Chain A
Protein backbone atom coordinates (compact mmCIF):
# COMPACT_ATOMS: atom_id res chain seq x y z
CA UNK A 1 0.00 0.00 0.00
CA UNK A 2 1.15 3.45 -0.80
CA UNK A 3 -0.67 5.32 1.98
CA UNK A 4 0.29 3.30 5.03
CA UNK A 5 3.35 1.92 6.72
CA UNK A 6 3.44 -1.65 7.96
CA UNK A 7 6.46 -3.39 9.45
CA UNK A 8 6.70 -6.81 10.99
CA UNK A 9 9.67 -7.89 13.10
CA UNK A 10 10.33 -10.83 15.37
CA UNK A 11 12.13 -9.92 18.58
CA UNK A 12 14.09 -12.53 20.50
CA UNK A 13 12.53 -11.54 23.81
CA UNK A 14 9.50 -12.66 25.82
CA UNK A 15 6.17 -11.01 25.06
CA UNK A 16 5.94 -9.50 28.52
CA UNK A 17 9.29 -7.77 28.17
CA UNK A 18 8.41 -6.34 24.77
CA UNK A 19 5.05 -5.19 26.09
CA UNK A 20 6.76 -3.34 28.96
CA UNK A 21 9.23 -1.74 26.53
CA UNK A 22 6.29 -0.37 24.55
CA UNK A 23 3.64 0.42 27.16
CA UNK A 24 5.85 1.84 29.93
CA UNK A 25 6.45 5.43 28.91
CA UNK A 26 9.93 5.66 30.40
CA UNK A 27 11.08 2.42 28.73
CA UNK A 28 9.41 3.49 25.49
CA UNK A 29 11.22 6.82 25.63
CA UNK A 30 14.63 5.29 26.18
CA UNK A 31 14.64 3.24 22.98
CA UNK A 32 12.43 5.48 20.86
CA UNK A 33 14.39 8.59 21.76
CA UNK A 34 12.09 10.81 23.79
CA UNK A 35 11.64 11.90 27.38
CA UNK A 36 7.94 11.72 28.30
CA UNK A 37 6.30 13.66 31.11
CA UNK A 38 4.27 10.84 32.68
CA UNK A 39 2.73 7.40 32.18
CA UNK A 40 0.68 6.32 29.16
CA UNK A 41 -3.05 6.48 29.93
CA UNK A 42 -5.64 5.45 27.32
CA UNK A 43 -7.62 8.43 26.08
CA UNK A 44 -5.08 10.97 27.39
CA UNK A 45 -2.49 13.12 25.75
CA UNK A 46 1.08 13.02 26.94
CA UNK A 47 3.79 15.55 26.21
CA UNK A 48 7.54 15.24 26.20
CA UNK A 49 10.67 16.11 24.27
CA UNK A 50 12.99 14.34 21.87
CA UNK A 51 15.96 12.89 23.78
CA UNK A 52 18.31 10.70 21.71
CA UNK A 53 17.98 6.97 22.25
CA UNK A 54 20.33 5.45 24.80
CA UNK A 55 20.47 2.03 23.17
CA UNK A 56 22.02 2.66 19.78
CA UNK A 57 24.73 5.26 19.14
CA UNK A 58 24.14 5.45 15.37
CA UNK A 59 20.45 6.17 15.77
CA UNK A 60 21.18 8.56 18.66
CA UNK A 61 23.41 10.53 16.31
CA UNK A 62 20.53 10.90 13.85
CA UNK A 63 18.22 12.14 16.60
CA UNK A 64 20.74 14.55 18.12
CA UNK A 65 19.81 17.56 15.90
CA UNK A 66 16.21 17.33 17.14
CA UNK A 67 17.00 16.93 20.85
CA UNK A 68 14.68 18.98 23.03
CA UNK A 69 11.97 19.41 20.40
CA UNK A 70 8.53 18.97 21.93
CA UNK A 71 6.48 15.85 21.20
CA UNK A 72 2.86 15.05 21.91
CA UNK A 73 1.19 11.65 21.81
CA UNK A 74 -2.51 10.93 22.20
CA UNK A 75 -2.85 7.44 23.63
CA UNK A 76 -5.70 5.73 21.81
CA UNK A 77 -5.57 2.14 23.02
CA UNK A 78 -3.84 0.03 25.65
CA UNK A 79 -4.78 -3.67 25.48
CA UNK A 80 -2.31 -5.43 27.78
CA UNK A 81 0.14 -7.77 26.01
CA UNK A 82 -1.73 -7.28 22.74
CA UNK A 83 -2.05 -3.78 21.36
CA UNK A 84 -0.85 -0.24 22.00
CA UNK A 85 -1.84 2.67 19.78
CA UNK A 86 -1.25 6.39 19.75
CA UNK A 87 -1.94 9.34 17.52
CA UNK A 88 0.78 11.87 16.78
CA UNK A 89 2.11 14.41 14.35
CA UNK A 90 4.78 12.27 12.73
CA UNK A 91 7.34 14.96 11.94
CA UNK A 92 6.21 17.91 14.02
CA UNK A 93 9.64 19.39 14.58
CA UNK A 94 9.06 23.08 13.96
CA UNK A 95 9.02 24.61 17.50
CA UNK A 96 7.13 27.69 16.31
CA UNK A 97 4.32 25.80 14.59
CA UNK A 98 1.08 24.91 16.33
CA UNK A 99 0.22 21.40 15.27
CA UNK A 100 -2.60 20.90 17.75
CA UNK A 101 -5.39 21.60 15.26
CA UNK A 102 -4.00 19.24 12.65
CA UNK A 103 -5.04 15.63 12.13
CA UNK A 104 -2.75 12.99 13.58
CA UNK A 105 -1.58 9.74 12.09
CA UNK A 106 -2.32 6.57 14.06
CA UNK A 107 0.59 4.35 15.14
CA UNK A 108 -0.29 0.83 16.32
CA UNK A 109 1.97 -1.79 17.90
CA UNK A 110 0.36 -5.25 17.79
CA UNK A 111 2.12 -8.06 19.68
CA UNK A 112 1.80 -11.82 19.60
CA UNK A 113 3.86 -14.74 20.84
CA UNK A 114 5.77 -16.62 18.21
CA UNK A 115 8.42 -19.28 18.08
CA UNK A 116 11.61 -17.88 19.53
CA UNK A 117 10.11 -14.66 20.80
CA UNK A 118 7.58 -11.99 20.05
CA UNK A 119 6.13 -10.84 16.76
CA UNK A 120 5.58 -7.11 16.49
CA UNK A 121 3.48 -5.60 13.71
CA UNK A 122 3.80 -1.84 13.50
CA UNK A 123 1.40 0.18 11.37
CA UNK A 124 1.07 3.88 10.76
CA UNK A 125 -2.04 5.10 8.94
CA UNK A 126 -3.84 8.35 8.24
CA UNK A 127 -1.34 10.11 5.98
CA UNK A 128 -4.18 11.06 3.64
CA UNK A 129 -5.57 13.42 6.29
CA UNK A 130 -2.39 15.44 6.75
CA UNK A 131 -2.26 18.96 5.38
CA UNK A 132 -0.25 19.07 2.20
CA UNK A 133 2.30 21.63 3.42
CA UNK A 134 3.21 19.33 6.32
CA UNK A 135 3.88 16.47 3.96
CA UNK A 136 6.07 18.79 1.93
CA UNK A 137 7.96 19.79 5.09
CA UNK A 138 8.45 16.23 6.17
CA UNK A 139 9.69 15.31 2.78
CA UNK A 140 12.19 18.15 2.76
CA UNK A 141 13.37 17.19 6.20
CA UNK A 142 14.02 13.66 5.07
CA UNK A 143 15.80 14.69 1.98
CA UNK A 144 19.58 14.93 2.05
CA UNK A 145 20.60 14.54 5.64
CA UNK A 146 18.26 11.74 6.43
CA UNK A 147 19.07 9.82 3.27
CA UNK A 148 22.78 10.07 3.96
CA UNK A 149 22.28 8.87 7.51
CA UNK A 150 20.23 5.93 6.37
CA UNK A 151 23.40 4.65 4.72
CA UNK A 152 24.88 4.35 8.21
CA UNK A 153 21.88 2.40 9.41
CA UNK A 154 22.01 0.02 6.51
CA UNK A 155 25.69 -0.57 7.18
CA UNK A 156 24.87 -1.13 10.82
CA UNK A 157 22.11 -3.63 10.07
CA UNK A 158 24.31 -5.51 7.63
CA UNK A 159 26.96 -6.19 10.28
Chain B
Protein backbone atom coordinates (compact mmCIF):
# COMPACT_ATOMS: atom_id res chain seq x y z
CA UNK B 1 0.00 0.00 0.00
CA UNK B 2 1.53 3.26 -1.01
CA UNK B 3 1.18 6.15 1.38
CA UNK B 4 -0.71 9.40 0.98
CA UNK B 5 -2.94 8.29 -1.87
CA UNK B 6 -6.24 9.39 -0.40
CA UNK B 7 -4.85 12.55 1.14
CA UNK B 8 -3.38 13.41 -2.26
CA UNK B 9 -6.73 12.84 -3.95
CA UNK B 10 -8.70 14.69 -1.28
CA UNK B 11 -8.10 18.08 -2.87
CA UNK B 12 -10.10 19.60 -5.69
CA UNK B 13 -7.15 21.27 -7.37
CA UNK B 14 -5.23 18.01 -7.49
CA UNK B 15 -8.30 16.12 -8.69
CA UNK B 16 -8.53 18.71 -11.47
CA UNK B 17 -4.90 18.13 -12.41
CA UNK B 18 -5.51 14.37 -12.45
CA UNK B 19 -8.49 14.89 -14.74
CA UNK B 20 -6.44 17.03 -17.12
CA UNK B 21 -3.59 14.52 -17.12
CA UNK B 22 -5.89 11.59 -17.87
CA UNK B 23 -7.39 13.48 -20.80
CA UNK B 24 -4.20 14.88 -22.25
CA UNK B 25 -1.48 12.31 -21.65
CA UNK B 26 2.10 13.50 -21.02
CA UNK B 27 2.12 17.30 -20.78
CA UNK B 28 4.50 20.00 -19.61
CA UNK B 29 3.84 22.14 -16.54
CA UNK B 30 3.36 25.14 -18.82
CA UNK B 31 0.52 23.43 -20.69
CA UNK B 32 -0.91 22.03 -17.48
CA UNK B 33 -1.05 25.44 -15.80
CA UNK B 34 -2.56 27.19 -18.81
CA UNK B 35 -6.10 28.35 -18.13
CA UNK B 36 -6.14 27.14 -14.53
CA UNK B 37 -5.36 30.50 -12.95
CA UNK B 38 -2.54 28.84 -11.04
CA UNK B 39 1.13 29.68 -11.21
CA UNK B 40 3.57 27.08 -12.51
CA UNK B 41 5.04 26.93 -9.01
CA UNK B 42 1.65 26.09 -7.51
CA UNK B 43 1.05 23.40 -10.11
CA UNK B 44 4.51 21.97 -9.49
CA UNK B 45 3.79 21.78 -5.77
CA UNK B 46 0.58 19.84 -6.34
CA UNK B 47 2.27 17.52 -8.84
CA UNK B 48 4.92 16.73 -6.24
CA UNK B 49 2.24 15.71 -3.73
CA UNK B 50 0.65 13.49 -6.38
CA UNK B 51 4.07 12.12 -7.31
CA UNK B 52 4.81 11.26 -3.69
CA UNK B 53 1.56 9.27 -3.62
CA UNK B 54 2.70 7.48 -6.79
CA UNK B 55 -0.27 8.84 -8.75
CA UNK B 56 1.73 10.77 -11.37
CA UNK B 57 5.20 10.44 -12.82
CA UNK B 58 7.45 12.63 -14.93
CA UNK B 59 10.19 12.19 -17.47
CA UNK B 60 12.59 14.45 -19.33
CA UNK B 61 11.82 15.13 -22.95
CA UNK B 62 14.57 17.31 -24.37
CA UNK B 63 14.52 20.49 -22.33
CA UNK B 64 11.04 19.85 -21.01
CA UNK B 65 9.71 17.73 -18.17
CA UNK B 66 6.54 15.91 -19.08
CA UNK B 67 4.01 14.74 -16.52
CA UNK B 68 1.59 11.84 -16.82
CA UNK B 69 -0.64 9.51 -14.81
CA UNK B 70 1.05 6.63 -12.94
CA UNK B 71 -1.49 3.81 -13.25
CA UNK B 72 0.20 1.70 -10.58
CA UNK B 73 -0.67 4.18 -7.84
CA UNK B 74 -4.32 4.10 -8.84
CA UNK B 75 -4.32 0.30 -8.84
CA UNK B 76 -3.01 0.26 -5.27
CA UNK B 77 -5.61 2.73 -4.08
CA UNK B 78 -8.34 0.76 -5.76
CA UNK B 79 -7.09 -2.50 -4.25
CA UNK B 80 -7.46 -0.98 -0.79
CA UNK B 81 -11.00 0.25 -1.44
CA UNK B 82 -11.89 -3.07 -3.07
CA UNK B 83 -10.73 -4.96 0.01
CA UNK B 84 -12.84 -2.72 2.27
CA UNK B 85 -15.69 -3.02 -0.16
CA UNK B 86 -15.64 -6.82 -0.17
CA UNK B 87 -15.83 -6.80 3.59
CA UNK B 88 -19.05 -4.79 3.35
CA UNK B 89 -20.42 -7.31 0.87
CA UNK B 90 -19.96 -10.06 3.45
CA UNK B 91 -21.61 -7.96 6.17
CA UNK B 92 -24.56 -7.03 3.98
CA UNK B 93 -25.00 -10.68 3.08
CA UNK B 94 -25.23 -11.39 6.81
CA UNK B 95 -27.87 -8.64 7.07
CA UNK B 96 -29.79 -10.32 4.26
CA UNK B 97 -29.68 -13.64 6.14
CA UNK B 98 -30.94 -11.80 9.22
CA UNK B 99 -33.94 -9.98 7.73
CA UNK B 100 -35.07 -12.35 4.98
CA UNK B 101 -36.88 -15.33 6.44
Query: Which residue numbers of A lie inside 8 Å of B, CB to CB?
Result: 2-5, 7, 9, 11-13, 17-18, 21-22, 27, 30-33, 53, 55-56, 59, 62, 90-91, 120, 122, 124, 127-130, 132, 135-136, 138-140, 142-143, 146-147, 150, 153, 156-157
Taking a contact as CB atoms closer than 8 A, the residue among B9, B84, B85, B93 that contacts A153 in the complex is B93
The answer on a CB contact under 8 Å between A130 and B6 is yes
The answer on a CB contact under 8 Å between B83 and A135 is no
**Which residues 22-70 of B have a CB within 8 angstroms of A?**
none
A33 to B98, CA, bound (A): 12
The answer on a CB contact under 8 Å between B99 and A135 is no
Chain B residues within 8 Å of chain A by Cβ, number: 33
The answer on a CB contact under 8 Å between A55 and B3 is no
A59 to B86, CA, bound (A): 12
The answer on a CB contact under 8 Å between B83 and A21 is no
The answer on a CB contact under 8 Å between B1 and A31 is no
A30 to B74, CA, bound (A): 36
Given A132-B7, A153-B89, CB of A124 within 8 Å of CB of B84: yes
The answer on a CB contact under 8 Å between A11 and B100 is yes
Min CB gap B59→A, angstroms: 24
Min CB gap A29→B, angstroms: 11
The answer on a CB contact under 8 Å between B98 and A128 is no
The answer on a CB contact under 8 Å between B96 and A11 is yes
- Residues of B within 8 Å of A31, CB to CB, are 91, 94-95, 97-98
